[in-house]
Amino acid sequence: MTATAAETEHSAPQHHRHIPGEPGLWIFLLGDMVMFSVFFGFVAVLHGRHPMMFRASQRALHPDLGLLNTLLLLTASALVARGLRQLRSGIPARTLPWALLCALGFAAVKGIEYALVIHDGHTPSSNDFFMYYFVFTGIHLAHLAIGIGALTVLIVLSRRPALSRGKLLVAEGAAAYWHMVDLLWLVLFPLFYLVA
C-alpha cells in the first residue's frame, strides 16, 4: 500500500505502520489513561447517586472558562501535531512556542477558576462533587505541568538543524504525551461542566 500525497501530510513518511515515540512509553500513556477512566467512572457514579447535589454544585463552576480551556488545549494539540510533521520533514517548526503559550494559558485560566470557586466558598471538603473536581482536575493540572516540560523539550529539539532517529523518537514521545493531556481534559470538561 503506497501512501497518497494527502496521507503523507499526516503520517510518518518512512513507515506504513509506525509507533509514535518509544513503544514502552505507550505503557505509561495507556496506563495513565486507564487510571483517568477510573476517575471518570467516579464522577459518573456520583452524578447518578446524587443528581441534585451534582447539579447544584456544578452551577458554581464556570463553563465559559472550561470552554476557553478546551479550545486552548485543542489549539495547542493541533500546533504540536503540525510542528511534529514539520520537524520530520526538516521544516522549521516556528509555531511550537504558541502551543507552549496555550498550555500556560490553560494553567492560568485554571488558576483563575480555582480562585473564583474557592472565593465563592467551595472547597474540596464542601461535598463529594468539589472533592472530585479539585482532586481530578488538580491531578490533570499536574499532568499539564509535565506536559509543559514536554513542549519545552519539543521546542528545544525544533531548534536543531536535523534530528537523529533517537531524537525524533523523543520528539514524538513528547508530542504524544502532550496529546494525552489534551485528550484527558476532553472527557473531564463535559463530565464536570456539561452533563447535568
Partner 1 sequence: MWVFPALVLATLSSWLLGIEDSTSTSIGCAVVAIALIKVRLVGLHFMELRNAPAALRGAFEIYVVITGATLLTLYLVL
Partner 2 sequence: MSRRILIACASFGYLFIALFFAALLIAHWIPPMAPSWSAERVAAFYTDHANSIRTGLVVMLVGAVATAPFVAALASLIRRIDSRLAPLAAVQLVCGAANVAAIFVPVLIFTATAYRPDRSPDITMALNDLAWITLVMNAFPAIGQATVAGVAILADKRPTPLLPRWSAYLNFWMAFLFLPSILLTFFKTGPFAWNGILSFWVAAGAFGAWFLVMTFLMVRAASRVEDDRAPAVLEAAV
Interaction site with partner 1 (CB under 8 A): 9-12, 15-20, 23, 26, 30, 33-34, 37, 40-41, 44-45, 47-49, 51, 55, 63, 67, 70-71, 74-75, 77-78, 80-81, 175-176, 179-180, 182-183, 186-187, 189-191, 193-196
Is residue 145 part of the contact set for partner 2 (CB under 8 A)? no
Of 65-73, 78-86, 114-122, 124-132, the window that binds partner 2 (rule: CB under 8 A) is: 124-132
Q: Report d(CA 35, CA 164) in Å as an integer.
A: 33
Tell me which H or E stretch contains 11.
Answer: none
Q: Which three cell numbers stand for residue 157?
A: 529539539
Find out whether 109 and 73 touch, Cβ atoms under 8 Å: no
Closest distance of CB 78 from partner 1, Å = 4
Is residue 135 part of the contact set for partner 2 (CB under 8 A)? yes
Q: Which does 125 bind (CB under 5 to 8 A by kind): partner 2, partner 1, none?
A: partner 2
Closest distance of CB 92 from partner 1, Å = 19
Residues in the chain: 196
Nearer to partner 2, 65 or 131 (CB): 131
Is residue 48 part of the contact set for partner 2 (CB under 8 A)? no
Nearer to partner 2, 13 or 31 (CB): 31
Nearer to partner 1, 33 or 116 (CB): 33
Q: Which of 193, 128, 169 is nearest to 12 (CA)?
A: 169
Contacts 24+ apart (CB under 8 A), 105-113: 105/72, 106/69, 106/72, 106/73, 106/76, 106/144, 107/141, 107/144, 107/145, 107/148, 109/65, 109/68, 109/69, 109/72, 110/69, 110/137, 110/141, 112/65, 113/61, 113/62, 113/65, 113/66
Which residues contribute to the site for partner 2 (CB under 8 A)?
22-28, 31-32, 35, 38, 42, 124-125, 128, 131, 135, 139
